[in-house]
Amino acid sequence: MPPIYGAVAAGDPQTVEAGIHVLKQGGNAVDALVAAAYAALVAEPFLINIGGGGLATLYLPDKNRALTYDFMVDVPSRPPYPTMDFRRILVQFEAAIQHFHIGRASAGVPGLVAGLCRLHSDWGRLPLQQVMAPAIALAEQGATISQSQVHILNTLRDIFSADPQLRDLYFPHGQPITAGTRIARPDVAHTLKRIASEGPDVFYRGDLAQAIVRDQERRGGLITANDLAHYEVYILPALETTYRGWRVFLPPPPSRGGGLVALALALLSDHPISEWTFLGPRHAALHAAVQAYVQNIRPQWETVIERSPHPGEAWLAPANLTAHRKAFAQRWQERLAFSFPIEERATKPNTTHISVLDAEGLIVSMTMSAGEDAGFVVEDTGIQLNNMLGEDDLNPQGFHRWPPGTRLGTMMTPTIVRHDSGDVLVVGSGGSSRIRSAVVQVISAYLDFALPLDEAVRAPRIHYDEEGVVQLEGGIPEGTASALQHAGYRVNLWPVKSIYFGGAHAVARRSSITWEAAGDPRRGGAGAIV
């Protein structure tokens, strides 16, 4: 059997191929991740752009510990003003109509370039120019746009047609591009070449930074040269919990998802799930009840984040988890339906994930987002920015109320699950509030039911939504839906599988022999082993 170099899963086959190409050249998991992430800017242009942010969870086998790299978006320092560029748009999603704001003043200080370059400089093996070469080639020669990407483009039509350059690119002759269209981005290729040869300084302090600031100053934005020059990547110990004897590494705040996934796994661990029928009434009811409990306990987690100097340690303290397990157990034993609305509104699809594992045991799980896109291009650079200052769910106190320099929170939850035997599961998802339900269900399906990874990723999902309705994805038995209704839940049984339920791209290794990689078809995902 030929040697295995590693496995990559991501949101598009072209993204995966960039990571695989670098692994074949002798790169490690971090090299492959960085290669895939830059390729995603071209292959998944409606899910991520260079002006976004993200989180990465990294497991270091020689140190037997995990770190989280936090490169989420910061609040800029220029205060809002009457003539700033901040416009409201309405977006029709599958489940609802939601409004966002776009424009220069919707953009926070981007962290993606800083995060990817810092990961590479800390742990990469190959030169950055070699690692970024696949993305540059893809931008020069053109990426093939998938049906999944076209679906997102049509959903976000009003954003990607707001700027003449984007409109000409994606809506030639007034009509959206179709699946299979090849789109070259020479402007993006030039910017990527600059970053590859000069490093992140050109983006944060050099002439690319000057172009961003000039565009912001002239056209109503809030980002300053000082904001870019002083952007910082935070390197934090990952949260650690256990599930069925496996160690689970999760991102700490600003991720809200890490602590909530840890609580959900603690609640599930008290039940003999593997003895039940997969997606049968009892199994589905438990997931619905756990999700409802966790979602409604979220304000407590927010309070811990706000008040504790070490929120992860406080939240995962045995006494705190024991108290929640007892409270949940009482409600479960009484068979109470947890049907009550919660304070979450996000339904957007605009997040993507990459999972990588190499033969040496280096593991990295990264989720990145640019919101929906701020709807403009910076001069001739191809640089697009996030619109995270224009999202209701990230600005609950109102727009432009966060103090300058605030690192925005997120539900992104890049996760690593590892057994002391060396077996590994790496997973994360897009999908806002559905991120944590997707991650928990993939973990449970893989560990509790020993499903092959592809089946665990493709399996129909359950999500307890912001209106207190249990959303059951297509493929879940009607008998399960009826049983939940009889138990007192409000239930919506979908006829099909949907992007609504996330996009969990995952890789895994069992017994050091069996390698698996699975991209979530809900979001055009792919996986490969080399």
Active site residues: 351
Nearest to 246 by CA among 509, 460, 519: 509
Q: Using CA atoms, how far apart are residues 423 and 429, in angstroms rounded to an integer? A: 21
Question: Taking the mean position of all CA atoms in its chain, how far away is CA 442?
Answer: 15
Helix then strand then coil, % of the chain, to nearest 5: 40, 20, 35
**3-state class (DSSP) for residue 440:** helix
* β pairing state of 53-60 and 415-418: unpaired
Rounded (5°) CA angle 324-327-329: 105
Residue with token string 């370059």 = 117
| CB contact at 8 A, 364 and 381 | no
Rounded (5°) CA angle 93-162-377: 115
| DSSP structure class, residue 405 | T
Q: Using CA atoms, how far apart are residues 508 and 514, in angstroms rounded to an integer? A: 8
> Side chain identity at 368, as an amino acid letter?
M
Contacts for 292 with CB less than 8 Å, ≥ 6 apart: 338, 339, 340, 342, 464, 468
> Side chain identity at 204, as an amino acid letter?
Y
What does 85-133 look like in DSSP terms, one character per residue? --EEEEEE-SS-EEEEEESGGGPPBP-HHHHHHHHHHHH--S-HHHHHH
φ and ψ at residue 246, rounded to 5 degrees: -100, 145
Residue with token string 């895939």 = 36
SS (H, E, C) 261-311: HHHHHHHHCCCCHHHCCCCCHHHHHHHHHHHHHHHHHHHHHHHHHHHCCCH
Nearest to 265 by CA among 314, 309, 308, 328: 328
Q: Using CA atoms, how far apart are residues 321 and 272, in angstroms rounded to an integer? A: 19
Contacts for 416 with CB less than 8 Å, ≥ 6 apart: 57, 59, 66, 238, 248, 249, 363, 365, 424, 425, 426
Please compute, for residue 412, the number of CA atoms within 13 A of its CA located in the half-sphere on the CB side.
Answer: 32
Nearest to 155 by CA among 127, 176, 186, 180: 176
Q: Which long-range contacts (CB under 8 A, 24 or more apart) does 307-312 make?
A: 311/252, 311/253, 311/259, 312/237, 312/239, 312/252, 312/253, 312/258, 312/259
Q: Using CA atoms, how far apart are residues 40 and 33, in angstroms rounded to an integer? A: 10
Structure-token pair, residue 184 = 């070259």
